[in-house]
Structure formats: structure tokens, C-alpha cells
Chain A
Amino acid sequence: MAKAKTTLHKRTLLQDIKRTWMLYLFLLPAFIYLIIFNYAPMYGIQIAFRNYNALDGVWGSTWVGLEHINKFIHSYQFMDLLKNTLILSVYSLVAGFPIPIIFAILLHNLKSTPYRKFSQMVTYAPHFISTVVFCGMVWVFMGNDGIMNQLLKIMGFNPVGFMSNASYFKHIYVWSGVLQSMGFNTIIYISVLTSVSPELHEAATVDGATKLQRILYIDLPHLIPTMVILLILNMGQIMNVGFEKAFLLQNDINLSASEIISTYVYKIGIQGAQFSYSAAIGLFNNIINFILIIAVNKISAKLTKVSLW
């Protein structure tokens, strides 16, 4: 066996490729898919700098440089779109990031195993419900005669027009999202918690530590690397507010709070066929995202020695 290994290392590049040509064949379908649906569009980004028209195609259309991006930055919607996008994503992150961690710690410390399994079964379920159905549920629950208002009435409060007031939009968006992903997002943390050596806990118990102290001084430090990785990933997505959910929860009344960059791109691009202008807006969004993830990763690598690459 040892001999086989050494011969493996001695092969030349050409010999290796000849020997493993089948592996490249294995990669081919995925590679072709990637070229068509990921890299060809990246190449097509240049329409953001041209006046695209179908006749001349991507190459032939006249080059206008940064005109479209400039137009967007100076348009009157720009500040509103940017503000709405950032509010929804930062709020989602602030509320949605710590809650699964806390919930994972709670589940991990629950004494009854059957009850923990039941709770996991229930709280993971919304992850499997489609965004359309989930938003449909939000609409019927939060409507004027929906169950939310019925419950408020029972408790003696006045009904609230949740869906007919733009100022409620961000709360509905964020907290319904927390409810949907809270359970499923605990999985990764629970797997870290179960990998913590029981000897540490035993030793701490002998030394007189309470459960709360053990969480603070044993469990939490173990969770930090995972938290940092997930935080980087989430920060990199900060401009990528879910299109589907914002779009499906939109109505004419809450538009001032619910119109975000991606829904705007859809409306003027796909529905309005202003391809170059909307592509420029999309590009603006993607570049900010890309810079963010690289910056956050760099900062994290410096401060905590944890990074994605």
C-alpha cells in the first residue's frame, strides 16, 4: 500500500489527467450548467454599461459607460430603496441571528428527550413550507378579521390593521421570518453543543458550577467559531433581502416600506423591459454585496482568526 502511494505522487501531470479523465467527464454536466446559467449571465452584465436592444444584442448595443448606474444613484427612488433594503436585512440579522443560538441552548438543556424531539419536529416544520404558502398564511392571519385580530379582541384590545399600515411591514417581515427559520437554524448549533466534551461539564459540576454558569463558560465559547462563520455568511447577504417574501407581502399600501432593490429590478426589468437600467441596478447591488463579504471576512480573519477561505 505504501508503495502504491509513493508511485501515485510520482506521476506527471499528463499521466494523471490521462488516468483520471473520467473524473473530468463527471464534472462536465455541472460545468456546462454553470457556464450557461452562472457565467454567461456574468458576461452579460456588460448590458449594464450599454443601451441594450434586442436587435443589436449584448455586443452590438451602444456603450454608455456608467450612465445607468449614475441615473439610478441620482433617481428619487434610490434612497428609499436602499433604506428599505438595509432596514429589512439589518433588522432580520439583529433579530434572526441570536434567537436560534438561544433556542439551541434551550433545546440542548431540556431535560425531557421526547419533548425535545417533539419541539424540534414542530419548529423545523415551517422551513419546509413554501414562501408562497407561508406569506399566504401571514396574509390571512394578519388580515382585519384574521386570527391575530380575533385573539387581540379576546384579550380586550382593539383590532389592528396590520397589513394596511406601512409602518408594520418591517416587523411582520422580520418576525414571521424568525418564526419560520428559528427551529431549523438551531441544527448547526445543536450539533456543536453535543460535541462538547462531557468531561468539561462533569468537572465544572464537581467544582460547584450551576447549569447557567456552565452554559456561559463552557458551551458559549465552543459556539463562537460557528457563530462567526455564520455571521460572515449573513453579512455577505445583507443586500440580498429575499425577493420572494418582500414581493409576496407587498401591497399598494405598504409599498413605501416594502419596495426593495430586488423587487424594483423585477418590476422595471422583467415587467417594464428596461433591461439595461435594471441590470445596472442589480449590478450595483451585487457589487456592494461582494465587497461586504470580502471585507467582513478580512476583518474576521484579523480579529478572530476565523474565515471562510
Chain B
Amino acid sequence: MRQAKETVITHKMRQCWQNRVFDIVVFLLVTVCTLAVLYPLFFVVIASISNPRLVQSGQVILWPKGISFEGYKYIFKDSRIWTGYRNTMFNTVAGTLFAMVLTIPAGYALSRSDLRGRNIIMGIFVFTMYFGGGLIPTYLVVRDIGLIDSVWTLVILGSFSAYNLIICRTFFQTSIPMELQEAAEIDGCSIGKFFTLVVLPLSKPILAIMALYYAVGKWNDFFNGLIYVNKASLFPLQLIMRDILIQGQAVQAAGVTDPKQLEMMQQIAMTIKYGAIIVSSLPVLVFYPFIQKYFVKGVMIGSLKG
């Protein structure tokens, strides 16, 4: 009897000990993963406000040294960045609105079980997720409808995704009760009225999720700009960033011709890059803590099979 009790106790102890080791290992591994992501982001920030020479010689590792905002000064003198910012801002706002008009009503229509031909229509949308014309045929279509180098190019392109449509449809299916719609119909409320007066006010979460999905997508879009925009005055911010960050084009500060200053700019080219990373990601970074939960929600709705 006593022996049985003892084995139970030693087993409990072993279980407890193993669980403690497990907790420690979990903590360590999560910390490694977090640091692996955090450090590069942190480094960009400290390098952008440190003395360029100290960054270059590897003395800036954990905290900023010789605080200087030289890099930012040159960035703000570069007119291309301002043009890019303006263009991208316009594309993001107008493009998101356009994308919402395309996605939200369509998502609602497809959520209704009394829509005849629903499965066929859904199939037509979903097919585009798995098969497409490819770059060249798409390019030719865009060219033929005169959408190359237009102010509206990046507003219109990339404004619809079947994946987002499915998220919307799933949301409406699960959050607008069929009874509500039937009651409204009996009371003589038209579908249009029901949608604007009942469905939309009940759907603020999905409106926020969709707006953010599209807005972040538009802000970060590089591909459509690369393919369809050749005019420098229409370049979105990401194309400018590519010139500065990857093709190593020096920042062209207006009115800087003094050779000494130009040499200085060469020296701080690296710091300018760090600063440019911050400047171009700022809007997303500022809103990030607020928008994160909407993105998480979106992924979860998207994962519901419907």
C-alpha cells in the first residue's frame, strides 16, 4: 500500500519536474524567435539616428551613438520621396474606396442563400484564385484599355481579390441572421434599403478588416507600379524606395551641388537608407498596434470553411 502511494508521488514529481523544464524551454525558444524579428527592426531605428561613421565601423550595436538626424535631413530634401508619398497616399485612399465598392456588396449578395445561381457565380470568382492569364496577357489588356501611366492605374489595379470576397461572404453568412432579412422583407423593405440601413451598420468589423487589408496592400504594392507605371511623376513610394534602397541611387537633395556636401552624402548613404525605411513604413507602423487585431480577425474569418 505504502509502496503504491510512493510510486504515485514519484510519478507526480517527475511530471511536475518535466513540466517545469518544458516551461523553461518554451520561454527560451519564444525569446529567440522574438529577438530574431525584433533586433533587425530595432537596429534600423537606432542606425537611422546614429552617427553614420559609427554605424559604418560597427560601433552601433545595441543603442544609438552620436545621435544625429543628418540622414533624415537629406531624405526630406528629396522631392522624389514627397512625390511618391503623395501618389501612394492618393492610390491608397481612392483605391481602398474603389475596392470596398467592389467587394462588400458582392460579398453580401453571395452570402444570401436565396440568390439563384450562387454556386456558379462563386465558382467563377474562386476559379481566378487558382488560374490566371499570367503577366503578359494581363499587361496587354491593361495596355489596350489605356491604363498604363494613368493617374488611375494603381487605384484600379489590385482592387479585388476572391480571397477577400470569401472572407466577406463568410462574415455576412455568420452575422446577419436569416430571420432578420425575412422580417424586413415581410415589412416591405427592399434589398437595397436592407443592405444600407441594416446590414452595413451591423458589419463595421468586416468593413474595417477589408479597408485595412486593401489599404496596406495598396500602400505596399510594388508589382503593379513596376509593370504599369513608367512616368516618374506617377511613381508610387515603393518604386522610389526601390531606387534608394536596392539600386543604391543616392538621394537627390534639391540644391545640393557643393562637392564637399556631396561627399558627405556618399558617406551617409547607409544612414539615409535606414531613415528611408522608417519614413516609408511610418504610416503602417504608427497604425500597426491598432490594426493588428483586425488582421488577426480577418485571418480567422477566412479560415472558417463555408
Contact = CB atoms under 8 A, between A and B. Distances in A.
Interface of A: 1, 4-5, 8, 13, 16-17, 19-20, 22-24, 26-27, 29-31, 33-34, 36-45, 47, 52, 58, 103, 106-107, 109-111, 115-116, 118-119, 121-133, 135-137, 139-141, 145, 147, 150-151, 153-154, 179, 182-184, 187-188, 191, 208-212, 226, 236, 243-244, 248, 262, 265-266, 269-270, 275, 278-279, 282-283, 285-286, 289-290, 293
B179 A37 contact: no
A130 B238 contact: yes
B281 interface: yes
B136 A123 contact: no
A116 B27 CA distance: 10
B4 interface: no
A263 to B, nearest CB: 11
B220 A131 contact: yes
Contacts of B159: 33
A133 B223 contact: no
Contacts of A188: 299-300, 303
19 contacts: A27-B110, A34-B125, A42-B137, A44-B140, A52-B140, A106-B30, A109-B23, A111-B27, A125-B37, A132-B245, A145-B56, A147-B58, A179-B37, A188-B300, A209-B15, A210-B15, A265-B134, A282-B135, A289-B130
A292 B223 CA distance: 25
Contact of B280 (A38, A39, A47, A130): A130
A163 to B, nearest CB: 11
A30 B300 contact: no
Given A13-B116, A42-B131, A270-B227, A26 B137 contact: no
Contacts of B29: 106
B30 A30 contact: no
Instruction: Please provide the 8 A-B residue pairs with the shortest distance between their CB atoms, ordered closest to farther.
Output: A41-B133, A136-B245, A282-B134, A130-B220, A44-B137, A150-B58, A26-B105, A30-B106
A29 B104 CA distance: 11
Q: Would you call the interface of chain A mostly helix, strand, loop, or mixed?
A: helix
Contact of A110 (B27, B103, B165): B27
Contacts, number: 280
A233 to B, nearest CB: 9
B34 to A, nearest CB: 5
Contacts of A243: 223
Interface residues of B, number: 96
Nearest to B17: A210
Interface stretch (B71-79, B185-193, B257-265): B185-193
Nearest to B106: A30
A306 to B, nearest CB: 10
Given A212-B18, A212-B22, A283 B134 contact: yes
B12 to A, nearest CB: 8
Contacts of B246: 132, 135-136, 139, 248
Given A37-B141, A118-B34, A269 B58 contact: no
B114 A20 contact: yes
Contact of A270 (B15, B135, B273, B276): B135
Contacts of A40: 133, 137, 141
A44 B141 contact: yes
B112 A23 contact: yes
A267 to B, nearest CB: 11
Given A17-B116, A130-B222, A133-B241, A191 B303 contact: yes
B50 to A, nearest CB: 12
Contact of B242 (A17, A132, A285): A132
Given A20-B115, A187-B300, A122 B44 contact: no
Given A111-B23, A130-B238, A283-B134, A147 B43 contact: yes
B140 A150 contact: no
Report which residue of B29, B106, B136 has the largest number of chain A beta carbons within 10 angstroms of its beta carbon. Answer: B136
Contact of A24 (B18, B109, B128, B222): B109
Contacts of B61: 147, 150-151, 154
Interface in B70-111: 101-103, 105-106, 108-110
B211 to A, nearest CB: 15
Contacts of A248: 222, 242, 246
B135 A275 contact: no
B26 interface: yes
B160 interface: yes
B18 A210 contact: yes
B207 interface: no
B133 A107 contact: no
Interface in B113-162: 114-116, 121, 124-125, 128, 130-142, 145, 157, 159-160
